[in-house]
Amino acid sequence: MQGTVATFDGSTRSGVLLLDDGTELAFPARAFDASGLRLLRLGQRVRVERDATGEIIRVTLPTMA
């Protein structure tokens, strides 16, 4: 699943994504930390990975494997 960064707080390392259907999706710091990224910019396109329960476990760039 992919979305666009709507908000990102560097101090808490969490934020909100805007999905293609207009749904807002909050992601926790642990999902950002799992990505290995240093920061996110507003409007940046990202890919979201979820576990079997639907919890967001990783937020990465679409070009990352």
pLDDT band at 64 (very low <50, low <70, confident <90, very high): low
How far apart (Å, rounded) are the C-alpha atoms in residues 49 and 4? 14
Structure-block tokens of residue 18: 């805007």
What is the structure's pLDDT at 49? 94
65 secondary structure, DSSP code: -
Mean pLDDT of 16-35: 95
Q: Is the pLDDT confidence value at 65 over 60?
A: no
Mean pLDDT of the chain: 93
**CA nearest 29: which of 8, 45, 46, 49?**
8
